[in-house]
């Protein structure tokens, strides 16, 4: 049973449908061996940067468990799942009665994905366990990602982690584990996933039928930071062009700068442009944070502090914009105005 897992990037493969995972050989070996020992933990926190394969690994491990329900008879290696296996097809179609995928749901009124995983979504897990309590099968819940749980939902998940049903497995994903409730982290066994190295990232992109042009390959790899999703945004969503436009606008002055900022805002705030908008907002924040770190490294503490304050102000404005559904174009103009006024 699968929730809507956010927005699937153009060119990407949904994690539940992906038969390949690049990198993370150590994490895969650990999961397979711990399960085969019969002493595996009931809750695993798969942590690491966004887009490195956490969800794909979670579904890969779920396939392994459900295909080998007796841990002591399971192989001590995670193999690529067979796309023709009935179990894989059920999971890929969201039709498995032994797996529940919790993610941000779609708002039925607006048709858009909500900004948080709500307590109503978590209550589905309680119903899931009650309906399958007599089957004797493994029951797996994937929380994707736990960073999106609102406070009530996080507390509801915590209660389940504290009193897990028999033969249950929680696979809790997190891009920023420091933001999770400490009590959730303490009840999970952490499995850390690192960014992909350059050959792994290129192989993952090739699996998707994507490649970086020779002229921009080195820059793309550097900006992607080992994240497949970031590389897709740079390749398929005009991310590289947006970064160039952002940096050019920051360096300009007067009327030319204002025109450049408005042009950028028109592009990133287009209707149904959630991915490009979020990418650009993230990049603005990263630009300010990068300059703050550079100032600190040079010993200019006052400058570093000022830029850190600017980053905090930007975060507050973005949160308010999302909460009150403010016009995105104006949000971009305001944020860039704050930046050019301080850089």
Q: Assess if residue 5 is contained within a domain.
A: no
Same domain, 135 and 57: yes
Same domain, 180 and 206: no
Q: Assess if residue 1 is contained within a domain.
A: no
Asked if omega into 145 is within 30° of 0 (cis), the reply is yes
Distance CA 85, CA 87 (A): 5
What is the widest separation between alpha-carbon atoms in the chain?
70
Same domain, 209 and 175: no
Q: Assess if residue 8 is contained within a domain.
A: no
Same domain, 19 and 95: yes
Cβ atoms 269, 332 nearer than 8 A: yes
The CATH number given to whatever domain includes residue 114 is: 3.40.50.300
Q: Assess if residue 165 is contained within a domain.
A: yes
Q: Assess if residue 9 is contained within a domain.
A: no
Of 194, 220, 252, the last residue of a domain is 194
Residues in the chain: 343
Same domain, 176 and 249: no
Same domain, 179 and 223: no
Q: Assess if residue 297 is contained within a domain.
A: yes
Which range of residues forms the domain containing residue 222? 197-236
Q: What is the structure's pLDDT at 6?
A: 58
Q: What is the structure's pLDDT at 3?
A: 41
Of 236, 265, 293, the last residue of a domain is 236
Q: Which residues of the chain have pLDDT under 70?
A: 1-6
Cβ atoms 3, 105 nearer than 8 A: yes
Same domain, 207 and 287: no
Distance CA 266, CA 260 (A): 10
Same domain, 67 and 112: yes
- Which residue in this structure is represented by tokens 């949000």? 331
Same domain, 300 and 333: yes
Of 129, 162, 194, the last residue of a domain is 194
pLDDT in tens, 272-307: 788 999 999 999 999 999 999 999 999 999 999 999
Same domain, 183 and 206: no
Same domain, 164 and 82: yes
| Structural domain total, the chain | 3
Same domain, 33 and 159: yes
Q: What is the structure's pLDDT at 188?
A: 98
Q: Assess if residue 100 is contained within a domain.
A: yes
Q: Assess if residue 175 is contained within a domain.
A: yes
């Amino acid at each position: 049973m699968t929730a809507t897992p956010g927005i699937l990037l153009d060119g990407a493969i949904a994690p539940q449908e992906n038969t390949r995972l690049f990198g993370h050989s150590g994490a895969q070996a650990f999961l397979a061996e711990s399960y085969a020992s019969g002493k595996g933990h009931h809750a695993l926190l798969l942590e690491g940067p966004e887009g490195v394969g956490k969800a794909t690994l979670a579904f890969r491990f779920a396939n392994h468990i459900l295909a080998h329900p007796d841990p002591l008879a399971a192989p001590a290696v995670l193999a690529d799942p067979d796309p023709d296996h009935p179990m894989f097809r059920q999971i890929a179609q969201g039709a498995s009665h032994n797996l529940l995928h919790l993610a941000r749901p779609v708002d039925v009124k607006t048709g858009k994905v909500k900004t948080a995983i709500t307590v109503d979504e978590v209550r589905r897990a309680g119903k899931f366990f009650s309906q399958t309590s007599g089957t004797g099968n493994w029951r797996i819940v994937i929380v994707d990602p736990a960073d999106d749980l609102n406070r009530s939902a996080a507390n509801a998940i915590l209660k389940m982690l504290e009193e897990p049903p028999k033969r249950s497995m929680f696979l809790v994903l997190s891009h920023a584990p420091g933001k999770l409730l400490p009590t959730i982290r303490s009840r999970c066994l952490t499995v850390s996933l690192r960014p992909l190295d350059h050959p792994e990232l290129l192989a993952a992109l090739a699996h998707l039928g994507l490649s970086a042009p020779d002229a921009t390959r080195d820059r793309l790899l550097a900006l992607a930071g080992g994240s497949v999703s970031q590389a897709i945004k740079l390749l398929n969503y005009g991310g590289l062009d947006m970064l160039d436009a952002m940096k050019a606008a920051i360096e300009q002055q007067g009327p030319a700068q204002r025109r450049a900022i408005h042009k950028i805002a028109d592009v990133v705030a287009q209707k149904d442009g959630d991915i490009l908008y979020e990418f650009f907002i993230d990049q603005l924040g990263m630009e300010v944070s990068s300059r703050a770190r550079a100032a600190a490294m040079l010993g200019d503490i006052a400058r570093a502090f000022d830029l850190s304050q600017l980053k905090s102000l930007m975060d507050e404005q973005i949160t308010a914009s999302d909460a009150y559904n403010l016009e995105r174009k104006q949000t971009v103009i305001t944020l860039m105005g704050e930046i050019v006024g301080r850089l």
